Amino acid sequence: MEFTLLGSAVLSAGAVYAALRVSGAPVRELWDAAVIAAMAGLVVGRLAAMILAGSNPLTRPADILIVRAGVDTGWASLAALVAAAAAGRRDPVRTLDALAPAALAGLAVWHASCLLRGACLGTPSDLPWAVAASGSQVARHPVEVYAAALLLGGAVLLGWWARSDPMPGRIAGAALAVAAAVRLATEPMRPALGSGPVLWYAAGIAAGILLFLAGRVAAPGAE
C-alpha cells in the first residue's frame, strides 16, 4: 500500500490528538484550535505558493486544491500561528503554550512518515547509519529521520516542562524556536541544498526567542 501525503497528514493529526490527551489539557477546545490552525495554514500556504509561482488563484481557483503541487511553508506556519492564537481568544498565548508540544509531536510524525513514503534520504554521507535508496550505490543521510527525532525530543521535553506551569509564552516561544532550528540545522543535508526557506527559519528562531522572553518582560520578577 502506498502512503500518500494525505496519509502522512492523518498520522500527524493523530499524533497531535494523542499528545493533547496525554497532556491533560482541555482536548476538545485545543483540538478545535489545532484544526483551525492547520486549515488556515494549508489554505494560506497554498495560495502563497501559487502567487509566488506566478499563478493567479482568482483565475485558477481549482488549482488551490492541488496541495501536492506545493505549499509555502513560511506563510503556512505564520497563518497557522495567527489562527491558533485567534482560536484561543480568551487567552491566545496560553492557547499557543498548550498546543506547542502537541504541534511538535505532529511535525515529528510528519517527518517520520517519510519511512512510509520512501522520502527520507538527503545528501550523500559516509556515516555508518547512512542509507542507500533501492538500486543505488550512494549512501545518504536519513535527514527526515534526524528531524523527526529532534522534534520528538523537543515535544517530550516541552511537554514535561509545561507541567511546571512556566510563564505565559515560554513553551510556545521555545517550541517555535526548536521547530525552526531543527529545519535550519537539517537544511544542508536536504537534497535540494540551498532551496529551503532559510530566512523563514531564522525568523522563526528569532520570533520564538522574543516570545519566550515576552512573559518575563510583561511580568518582571515573576518566576
In a domain, 181, yes or no: yes
In a domain, 66, yes or no: yes
Whether residue 99 is predicted with pLDDT greater than 90 in this model: the reply is yes
37's grid cell = 490552525
Choose the weakest-confidence range: 11-20, 78-87, 137-146, 195-204: 195-204
Nearest residue to 101 (alpha-carbon basis) of 174, 167, 209, 9: 174
In a domain, 12, yes or no: yes
How many structural domains does the chain have? 1
CA distances from 41 to 34, 73, 97 (A): 10, 8, 18
Residue 105 sits in which domain range?
Answer: 5-218
Residue 210: what residue type? L
Provide mean pLDDT across the span 39-49: 93
Task: Give tens-digit pLDDT for 64-73.
Answer: 887 766 888 8
Whether residue 219 is predicted with pLDDT greater than 70 in this model: the reply is no
Beta strands in 61-130 (DSSP E): none
In a domain, 212, yes or no: yes
pTM above 0.75, yes or no: yes
Residue with cell 506563510: 75
Are 212 and 158 within 8 A, CB to CB? no
Whether residue 2 is predicted with pLDDT greater than 50 in this model: the reply is no
Whether residue 220 is predicted with pLDDT greater than 60 in this model: the reply is no
In a domain, 20, yes or no: yes
Whether residue 213 is predicted with pLDDT greater than 60 in this model: the reply is yes
Are 189 and 63 within 8 A, CB to CB? no
In a domain, 223, yes or no: no
